């Protein structure tokens, strides 16, 4: 076929090679082996939730509260803002801890609703990461590397599995808290994968999707004609340049058009029972973490592959006691309700729920008295998982008696990613994408599946 004939075919064929390629990129695909999970809700507590005030009871730390931190425990450790922590003192939790359910998982009194789900969840209590600063730790938690530019975990999952939802994005990110999460597009982006795999952010607002309504006087039929015309010009341009990103542009227009019909139904929480709204703590029309958790369940029901829900108020360098009193009730209530709701609807079996942050908090105080907080800790924090074929009631790893570092079965971010991919039917060593002459993967050159958790 000569160049003129090729262009003529692409211009006038009703499908066009661009449309064919688009359908192939997002079509559902089979993983390497039978999957236990088909969707994921990642509840990300950005800033670093304190494992020592929430999940890890340390009686010896409480007994030594206020004593000088032994210098040997600080030697070789990395902490943020060390210039503000001269001669730091040990800081025991001011909370009561209780074991719950047949699993015996420990929760503090700050998390009563999550504690009710103790027999449906499992924990890593020995998580490790490599950087004490928020931005690189956030990027590592989502992409497996500290330098921005690599695909996010959600993008890898959509790349590997394709999409099931036809009228909604395969990957959605939602935020709540005083600001958006650090690094934004870097943590839900597609990196060097085609941009069709990137996450679509929903706003923390009454109307979370920009420009959902058609302009006044513009009918749906007129809008469709405009989109068809724009798509035709884009396909002609793609036939000339061969630029694959034009396919993404076409898909964006078409998805936006379909979402104008599907999204209002998704956002209509009035269809939920008053009991459900009460259980989550949702006030209709009021954005926030509770609303996002309920929307996450609704998105999963509609076939969305990956939902990331961020709460951005966990960086407690000062006033941690008052801050936890404020933040925990909202997050605890909605998290517990989400797990229970998924379980009741039969969705937890193949929906993986992950709860955690980019790192944890230190056993020594930053500041004193009511102003005391905790610094960043990268050597032994907690991450909770539920559903998606994960064995419930399991505890992996533990930290030393003061909570400074992982003492048993340390698990790093690559191990967490490998385990998540495993639940979706992927050998993390084989889910690769060739870029700049080498095969890249989410777990970089590391990572082991934690088999104690895989059912």
Query: What domains, with CATH codes, occur in the chain?
Result: 31-208+287-441 (3.40.720)
pLDDT at 142 over 80: yes
Q: Are residues 126 and 58 in contact, defined by beta-carbon separation less than 8 angstroms?
A: no
Per-residue confidence at 9, pLDDT binned at 50, 70, 90?
A: very low
How much is the mean pLDDT over the chain?
A: 89
The per-residue pLDDT for 17 is: 46
* Closest C-alpha to 329, from 81, 178, 110: 110
What distance in Å separates the CA atoms of residue 260 and residue 269, rounded to the nearest whole number? Answer: 17
What distance in Å separates the CA atoms of residue 385 and residue 123, rounded to the nearest whole number? Answer: 6
Q: Are residues 97 and 108 in contact, defined by beta-carbon separation less than 8 angstroms?
A: yes
pLDDT tens digit sequence for 65-78: 999 999 888 887 87
SS (H, E, C) the chain: CCHHHHHHHHHHCCCHHHHHHHHHHHCCCCCCCCCCCCEEEEEEECCCCCHHHHCCCCHHHHHCCCCECCHHHHCCCCCCCHHHCCCCEECCCCCCEEEECCCCEEEECCCHHHHCCHHHEEEEEEEECCCCCHHHHHHHHHHCCCCCCCCCHHHHHHHHHCCCCCCCCCEEEEEECCCCCCCCHHHHCCCCCCHHHCCEEECCCCCCCCCCCCCCCCCHHHHHHHHHHHHHHHHHHHHHHCCCHHHHHHHHHHHHHHHHHHHHHHHCHHHCCHHHHHHHCCCCCCCCHHHHHHHHHHHHHCCCCEEEEEECCCCCCCCHHHHHHHHHHHHHHHHHHHHHHHHHCCCCCCEEEEEECCCEEEEEEECCHHHCEEEEECCCEEEEEEECCECCCCEECEECCCCCCEEECCEEHHHHHHHHHHHCCCCCCCCEEEECCEEEECCCCCCCCCCCCEC
Cα pseudo-dihedral 288, 294, 300, 302, rounded to 10: -100
pLDDT at 264 over 90: no
The per-residue pLDDT for 106 is: 98
Residue with tokens 């015309």: 229
The pair of three-digit structure tokens given for residue 218, joined into one six-digit string: 């513009």
pLDDT at 304 over 80: yes
- Give the residue-averaged pLDDT of 258-276: 82
What distance in Å separates the CA atoms of residue 397 and residue 336, rounded to the nearest whole number? Answer: 23
Per-residue confidence at 5, pLDDT binned at 50, 70, 90?
A: very low
| Residue 130 exposed, middle or buried by CB count within 10 Å (0-12, 13-18, 19+) | middle
What distance in Å separates the CA atoms of residue 59 and residue 430, rounded to the nearest whole number? Answer: 44
pLDDT at 265 over 90: no
- Provide the CA 12 distance to its chain's centre, in angstroms: 42
pTM across the whole model? 0.89
């Amino acid at each position: 076929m000569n160049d003129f004939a090729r262009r003529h075919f692409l211009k006038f064929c009703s499908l066009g090679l661009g449309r064919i390629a688009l359908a192939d990129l997002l079509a559902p695909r089979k993983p390497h082996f039978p999957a236990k999970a088909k969707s994921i809700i990642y509840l990300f507590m950005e800033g670093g939730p304190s494992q020592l005030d929430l999940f890890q009871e340390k009686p010896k730390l409480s007994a030594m509260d206020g004593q000088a931190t032994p210098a040997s425990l600080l030697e070789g450790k990395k902490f943020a803002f060390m210039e503000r922590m001269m001669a730091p003192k040990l800081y025991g939790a001011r909370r009561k801890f209780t074991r719950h359910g047949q699993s015996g998982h420990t929760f503090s009194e700050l998390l009563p609703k999550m504690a009710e789900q103790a027999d449906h969840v499992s924990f890593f209590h020995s998580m490790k990461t490599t950087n004490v600063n928020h931005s690189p730790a956030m990027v590592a938690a989502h992409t497996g590397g500290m330098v921005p530019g690599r695909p996010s975990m959600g993008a890898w999952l959509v790349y590997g599995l394709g999409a099931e939802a036809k009228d909604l994005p395969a990957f959605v990110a939602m935020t709540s808290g005083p600001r958006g999460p650090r690094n934004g597009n870097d943590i839900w982006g597609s990196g060097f994968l085609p941009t069709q795999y990137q996450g679509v952010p929903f706003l923390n607002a009454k109307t979370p999707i920009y420009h959902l309504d058609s302009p006044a006087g513009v009918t749906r039929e007129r809008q469709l004609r405009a989109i068809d015309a724009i798509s035709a010009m884009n396909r002609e341009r793609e036939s000339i340049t061969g630029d694959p990103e034009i396919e993404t542009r076409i898909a964006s227009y078409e998805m936006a058009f379909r979402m104008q019909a599907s999204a209002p139904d998704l956002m209509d929480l009035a269809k939920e029972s008053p009991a459900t709204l009460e259980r989550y703590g949702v006030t209709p029309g009021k954005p926030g973490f509770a609303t996002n958790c309920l929307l996450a369940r609704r998105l999963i029901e509609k076939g969305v592959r990956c939902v990331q829900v961020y709460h951005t108020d966990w960086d407690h360098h000062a006033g941690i006691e008052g801050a936890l009193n404020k933040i925990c009730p909202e997050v605890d209530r909605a998290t517990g309700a989400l797990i229970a709701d998924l379980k009741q609807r039969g969705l937890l079996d193949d929906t993986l729920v992950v709860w955690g942050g980019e790192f944890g908090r230190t056993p020594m105080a930053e500041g004193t008295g009511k102003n005391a907080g905790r610094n960043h800790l990268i050597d032994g924090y907690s991450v909770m998982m539920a559903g998606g074929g994960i064995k419930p009631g399991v505890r992996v790893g533990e930290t030393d008696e003061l909570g400074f570092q992982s003492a048993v079965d340390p698990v790093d971010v690559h191990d967490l990613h490998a385990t998540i991919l495993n639940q979706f039917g992927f050998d993390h060593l084989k889910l690769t994408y060739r870029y700049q002459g080498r095969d890249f993967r989410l777990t970089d050159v590391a990572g082991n599946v934690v088999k104690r958790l895989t059912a």
